[in-house]
A and B are shown apart, each in its own frame.
Chain A
Amino acid sequence: MDKQDGRSAGESGALRLDDPWYDALASGWGELDDETTPADEWDRTEKPEPVPVPPPVPVAEPRSAPHDEIYLAVQRSAAFQEVRRRYRRFVLPGTAVFLAWYLAYVVAATAAPGLMAHRVVGALNVAMLAGLGQFATTFLLTWAYARHARLRRDRAALDIRWETQELTGGNIR
C-alpha cells in the first residue's frame, strides 16, 4: 500500500519526469527576452544534474499584468511553438484517421451488410476482421502516441514548464 515505494521502484533508472520537485530547474532562463532564443537551445537533450529544489511557496497573488505578459511571451516563443506544432501534427491527423476508420466501420456495418458478410478465412468474415482490426488499430495508435509524446514532447515541455514557473514565481494560478 505504500505508494511512494511502489512508484520509485517502478521508475528507478529513468529520469523522474513525473516528480517535478526533484528535477532541476533549467539554468540561465531567468529573463523575459529569452523568447527570442532559437528552438535548438530549448530543445537541448542534455540536462544538468538533478538538484533537489524545495517546492516554491504558493503565493496567492491576483492576476497581474506581468503574469499575463509572461504567458504571452512563452506562447510566442519558438520553443513553445515547436512543442505545440509537434503535438498537433500528431494528434490532428491521428484523430482524423481513427475517427474516419471507425465511422466507415459503423456505416459499413449498417449500410453494407453484404460486403461485411463476405467470408475470408474459416468462420472469419470481413465484419469480424474489421472489428478485430479496430481493436488492433486502437492498440497501435495508443502505443504510437505514447512513444511520440515521450520522445518528442516531454523533455521540451518540461523545460518550458520550469522556465515559466520560475518567471511567474512558482506554482501560482
Chain B
Amino acid sequence: MTGDHQTLALVLFSVFIAVTLAITTWVSRRRHGSAEEFYAGGRLFSPMENGFAIAGDYMSAASFLGISGLIALFGYDGLLYSVGFLVAWLVVLFLVAELVRNCGRFTLADVVAARMRERPVRIAAGTASVTVSVLYLVAQMVGAGSLVALLLGGASQQARTWMVIGVGALMVVYVAFGGMRATTWIQIVKAVLLMGGAIALTVLVLIRFHGDFNTLLNTAAERSGHGREFLTPGLRYGGGWTARLDFISLGIALVLGTAGLPHILSRFYTVPTARSARRSVVWSIGLIGGFYLMTIVLGFGAAAVLGSSAVHASNAAGNTAVPLLALNLGGGAGSTGGTVLFAVVAAVAFATILAVVAGITLASSASVAHDLYASLRRPRGTAQDAQRAEVAVARIAAVGVGAVAIGLSLLAQDLNVAFLVGLAFAVAASANLPVLLYTLFWRRFTTRGAVWSVYGGLIPAITLVVLSPVVSGGTESIFPGVDFAVFPLENPGVVSIPLGFLMGWLGTLLSPEAADEARHAETEVRALTGAGAA
C-alpha cells in the first residue's frame, strides 16, 4: 500500500470527522438538556430516517469487511453469518419493536419496570444492558484499531493504540455533546455512505463478470483453491461435533441476540409512534438485507478476482479483502481509480466504526444514568431537577464508558473480533431477550421471575465464556499457560439462552406474590394500542 492511498484516505477520514463534528455542533446548538432530547432525540425522526439510522447502527465494520472477508476465505460458511444477522430482524419486527416503543421511554429496563417492582428489575436489566454494550463496544474498537491501522499501512502497536484512543475520544464527544440527535444523524450519514460504497463495488464486480453470477461463483470456486467445496458449508465449521455444535450455538445467538441489543432497542424511541417504529424496521430490513446480499457478491468477487490466497496473505482473518478488491477494481495499485476506490472504502469503514461506536456508547450511558443511577440515588428535589441531573450523569457516563471501553480494547487487542461480536449477541440473547418476551407476553410473570431471568442468563453466559477454550487451555487463548476450560464451546448461547428462559419461569413459579393484574393489563393495553405511550 503506497503513500498515495494513505494520504487520500487520511483526507477522507478528516472530512468525515469534520462533517460529523459539524453535525454535533449544529445539533447541540439548540439543545435544552431534557432527557427526551438527550436519550431519544426529541422522538420526531421519520420512519425513513430512523430506518437508515437503525441500519447504520447495525451494519458494523465487522459486517462490511469481516463477512466479505470470511466469504472470500471460506466461501459458503461466511454466508451463514449474513443470513443469521438478517433473519434476526424478523424477531425484532414481530415481537419487539412496536411493543417496546409503546411500553418504554428510553431503555429496555423501562419496559420491564412498567409492570414490576422498579428498583430490582432496573438494576438487573441496567447491569445486563451495560455488560452487553461494553462487550459490543470492545469488539468494535478492537476492530477499529487493527483495521484502520492496517488500512493506513502502519500496523505498528503504537498506531493501533492511538487509533483506539482517537476513536474512543471522538465517540465520547459525539455522545456527550450531541446526544441521540447527533448520533442519529451520524448513523444516517454513515448508512448512506456504506450503502453507496457497497453498491458501487457490487456493480463493478458484476460488470467484471458481465452480470453473470454463475461465472462469478465458478471463478471464485476455482481461484479459492478449494474447488466446489468452496460453495458448500463446512470449510470453516466442519470437523468434529464440538465445532458443529459451536456453530449452531452461534447461529442461535445471532438470531435471538439482535432483539436484546440495547442500542438497537433505544432507536425505537426516536420515532413518535409504534407504527413509525414498525415502518423504521421495514426500512432497515430492506437496507440491511440489500447490504448483506451485496456482501455475498463482494466476498465471492474478492475470491474470484484476487484469489483466496492473496486475500489470506494480506490479512489472515480476511479483513482486507474488500479494500484490496476495491484497489483491483479501480485499475490496480498505482492507478488513480484504484487509489480513489481504496481510500473511499477505507473512509467508509472508518465512518462505520465511529457511528456504531457512538450508538452503543449512547445506549450504555442511558442505561447507567436512567437505570442504575436513577435507581440507586436518593430522590430529592423536583422531577425536573432529577431529570436534569440524570442527563448530566448520562453525559458523564458517556465519558466513563468511553474510558472503560478504551482501556478494555487496549487489553483485548489480540482477541478475534467476530468472536467478541458473537459473545455480545449471546449475552444479549441470554440476559435481555427472555425478560423482554416474558414481560410482554406472559400474564403471570413476576418481579422475581424478571430478576432471575436476567441474572440467570447473564451469569451463566459470562461464566461459560470464562470456562471456555477462549480464555484458557488453547494456544490462542487469553491465558494460554493455564487450563481451566471445562466448557468445550466458544459460544455459550446454546446453554445460556435456554437457562435465561428457564430461570425466568422458575423465578415466577417460586414467587411469594402473584403478578399484579392491573399493571399487566396496563402494560398489555399500552403495548398493543399505544395508550399513554411516551
Which residues of A does B touch, CB under 8 Å? 3-4, 6-7, 10, 17-20, 60, 67-69, 71-72, 74-75, 80, 83-84, 87, 91, 94-95, 98-99, 102-103, 105-107, 109-111, 113, 116-117, 122-125, 127-128, 131, 134-135, 138-139, 141-142, 145-146, 149, 154, 157-158, 160-161, 163-165, 168, 171-173
B-chain residues with CB within 8 Å of residue A6 when the two chains form the complex: 46
Q: How far is the CB of A171 from chain B (nearest CB, A)?
A: 6
Q: Cβ of B531 and Cβ of A160 under 8 Å apart?
A: yes
A10 contacts across to B, CB distance below 8 A = 46, 48
User: Among residues 67 to 84 in chain B, which have CB atoms less than 8 Å away from a CB atom of chain A?
Assistant: 76, 79-80, 82-84
Given the known inter-chain contacts A18-B276, A95-B95, A146-B278, please indicate yes or no for A164 contacting B525, CB distance below 8 A: yes
B→A interface (CB under 8 Å): 44-46, 48-49, 76, 79-80, 82-84, 86-87, 89-91, 93-95, 98, 214, 217-218, 221, 228-229, 231-234, 237-238, 244, 247-248, 251-252, 255, 272-273, 275-276, 278-279, 281-282, 285-286, 289, 292-293, 383, 517-519, 521-522, 524-525, 528-534
**Given known contacts A17-B275, A106-B247, what 17 new A-B pairs fall within 8 Å (CB)?**
A68-B522, A74-B525, A75-B524, A80-B525, A94-B94, A102-B255, A105-B83, A109-B76, A116-B232, A131-B82, A131-B83, A141-B90, A145-B94, A158-B530, A160-B529, A164-B532, A168-B532
- State whether A139 touches B285 (Cβ < 8 A): yes
Q: Contact between B232 and A113 (Cβ–Cβ < 8 Å)?
A: yes
A-B contact pairs, 18 of them (CB 8 A): A68-B521, A71-B518, A71-B525, A75-B524, A75-B525, A84-B528, A110-B248, A117-B229, A122-B214, A127-B232, A138-B87, A139-B286, A139-B289, A142-B281, A145-B94, A161-B530, A164-B525, A165-B532
* CB-defined contacts of A69 to chain B, threshold 8 Å: 518
Choose one: B49, B229, B231, B293; the contact of A3 (CB below 8 Å): B49
Decide yes or no: A125 and B232 within 8 Å by CB, A71-B525, A107-B248, A135-B83 being known contacts.
yes
Q: Which residues of A contact B533 (CB under 8 A)?
A: 171
Q: Is the CB of B282 within 8 A of A117?
A: no
Given contacts A74-B521, A123-B221, A145-B93, contact A154 B275 (CB under 8 A): yes
- Indicate whether A110 sits within 8 Å of B247 (C-beta atoms), given known contacts A128-B231, A138-B285: yes
> What is the minimal beta-carbon distance from B263 to any residue of chain A, in angstroms?
21
Give the complex CA separation of A62 and B76 in angstroms. 58
Cα A130 to Cα B226 in complex, Å, equals 21
B279 lies within 8 A of A146 (CB): yes
Partner of A131 from the list B79, B221, B289, B530 (CB cut-off 8 Å) is B79
Cα distance A67–B521 when bound, in Å? 11
B246 nearest CB neighbor, chain A only: A110
Using Cβ atoms and an 8 Å threshold, which residues of chain A touch B228? 117
| Chain A residues, Cβ within 8 Å of B255 | 99, 102
B273 CB contacts on chain A under 8 angstroms:
17-18, 20
Does the CB pair B87–A102 fall under 8 Å? yes
User: Are B247 and A158 closer than 8 Å at their CB atoms?
Assistant: no
Contacts of B95 in A (CB 8 A): 91, 95
Asked whether A111 lies within 8 Å of B531 as measured between CB atoms, the reply is no
Q: In the bound complex, how far is the Cα of B102 from the Cα of A165, in angstroms?
A: 13
Instruction: Tell me which residues across on chain B come within 8 A of A125, comparing CB atoms.
Output: 231-232
B532:A171 contact, CB within 8 angstroms: yes
Beyond A10-B48, A160-B525, A164-B532, whether A138 also contacts B234 by CB under 8 A is no
Shortest CB distance B34–A (Å): 13
A123: nearest chain-B partner, CB-CB: B217
Whether A134 contacts B524 by the Cβ 8 Å rule is no
Closest 3 A-B residue pairs measured CB to CB? Answer: A68-B518, A164-B531, A123-B217
Provide the residues of chain B in CB contact with A102, threshold 8 Å: 83-84, 87, 251, 255
Q: Chain A residues near B232: list those with CB within 8 A.
A: 113, 116-117, 125, 127
CB-CB under 8 A from B45, the residues of chain A are 3
List residues of chain A with CB within 8 A of the CB of B522.
Answer: 67-68, 71
* Residues in chain A near residue B530, CB distance under 8 A: 20, 157-158, 161
